[in-house]
Structure 1
């Protein structure tokens, strides 16, 4: 038994070593790419540009149409700005998104990349008075590489942001939008990339209609956003290398535990590659997670997404947002 315990400890040490080595490699790749770009020597991180031109003429604006250009189809990642409507009203909001389209088999990372990888980053650059809300992340997929698990997106993803215009926005004017986007795209190898995206929207007095060409795209990714469940109570306990979440809600009592996955939103709190344990209880759901070996302090709260492949109820909802506050009980 003692020998088996020693082998188990060695296996854990080797796993942690490989995970740390992978993280350091990813960071080194990004630093090397940025440095090379600055020095204009050696490898340069790919730079993709995209221009989105909304309401180019009055007739196009009235029809709610727009033109846009994206980077070459042969690139591994095509990045573009998309907006749900062709204009915004003074003091109003506009749902915008960064659309990433990946070549077959390649993927980019979620806000918590898991055991390896680097999160996709979006920084909006807006005129004075305009603001951008937090990024809205659709639930991710899971990618397995050797003994590691990563979270991210294949084929395509749209990362939404709600843009808000100031109350004194001038009706009839055009507003320049821009966003800086960075990512790490992986398949057999990983390649860092970045894009400087630009676009324009018009300010109109009346609320504009949804652009018909983008309705399906926006509906698809809106349905993949985690939802907040009214009345859900969530607490977390931290003990002996495990984090236990207690989710209290009657709607969780009929869950098939074989369909469940919990995605922790923050990196380095739980072990992504460790087995997760789910138990239906009289109050809802109990989730046992393995605490990350890289965190040496007590947790105060755990944010994440609870995904149910079978869906929650009959409304198509598959992912719910969870914020579990630490409880000593």
Structure 2
């Protein structure tokens, strides 16, 4: 009960601060839209990137903001027949404020989305894609921010394959699925125990990682996960939030790897999921 009251007070304070801060019209976050190509052809896939530059000491939030905050969101307005995939978030950092733990980004981050181009393009026509970005920027106060961005793409008979994407390094921060990773989960009353068996091509002797839950309002974020190892298997125990409503059908996680294993898979982070009834 104390935790619920405490969080409610914090949220009410944040709302009052946001209403005051928004009236000033000053943002500490600046967003820019760019893409891996400016010309498109029928059936293409475009990679859109929204870059957020964040002023010093400020931060915005991951798709699971943690104990407090608001997920950074991208909303798309597309030409007829175009389809947007899910927003791809880089792995986050952890922030602790007044006993609350949240996940997000500082300095700079880039969110990505893949756009599927239809087959019935009109050659030499322009196609406009609009993106509305919404976020919550926090320091000592929290301010809701939003902006609308757009790009035009020229339809041609055959588009060129991008050679050197300017955002290659940023895209490497997107968690990737890896083959051979075996995961199980066991529900233990007020906690969950995850079993992970990494593929043989990993460097097991130096294997180290951080774990971030993607499911919102399920786990206690302020407590450090209990991680143990038995031969080639890792066991991770996470406590459930006592105020959770119900367990999801699928648990989703991101692992941030040590540098040696990140080099092996050419990615700093891994995405994996496990069914609650496995």
* TM-score by shorter chain over 0.5: yes
Cα pair distance change 1:133/1:298, threshold 3 Å? closer
User: Among residues 224, 229, 234, which one is paired with 1:285 in the alignment?
Assistant: 234
Cα pair distance change 1:261/1:17, threshold 3 Å? farther
Aligned pair 1:95/2:44, yes or no?
A: no
**Aligned ranges 1:204-223 → 2 under 5 Å:** 204-210=156-162, 215-216=165-166, 218-223=167-172
Q: Which residue of 2 aligns with 1:192?
A: 144
Cα pair distance change 1:298/1:108, threshold 3 Å? closer
Cα pair distance change 1:116/1:239, threshold 3 Å? same
Cα pair distance change 1:256/1:294, threshold 3 Å? farther
C-alpha distance in 2, partners of 1:277/1:245? Answer: 10
Which secondary structure state, in structure 1, belongs to the residue aligned with residue 263 of structure 2?
A: coil
**Aligned ranges 1:9-48 → 2 under 5 Å:** 13-26=1-14, 44=23, 46=25
Q: Which has the higher helix share?
A: 1
**How far does residue 236 in structure 1 lie from its aligned partner after superposition?**
1.6
**How far does residue 255 in structure 1 lie from its aligned partner after superposition?**
6.2
**How far does residue 292 in structure 1 lie from its aligned partner after superposition?**
1.1
Which secondary structure state, in structure 2, belongs to the residue aligned with residue 119 of structure 1?
A: coil
Superimposed CA distance per residue, residues 124-173 of structure 1 (whole angstroms, 9 cap, x where no aligned partner): 10011111100011001111213221111111111100011110111211
**Unmatched runs of 5 consecutive residues or more in structure 2:** none
Superimposed CA distance per residue, residues 208-232 of structure 1 (whole angstroms, 9 cap, x where no aligned partner): 24386xx33x111111011101122
Scaled by the length of structure 2, the TM-score of the pair is 0.89
Cα pair distance change 1:160/1:256, threshold 3 Å? same
Paired residues, number: 276
Q: Which residue of 2 aligns with 1:228?
A: 177
Contact 1:130/1:166 (<8 A) preserved: yes
Aligned pair 1:121/2:78, yes or no?
A: no
**Unmatched runs of 5 consecutive residues or more in structure 1:** 1-12, 34-41, 47-73
C-alpha distance in 2, partners of 1:149/1:255? Answer: 30
* Structural RMSD (CA): 2.5
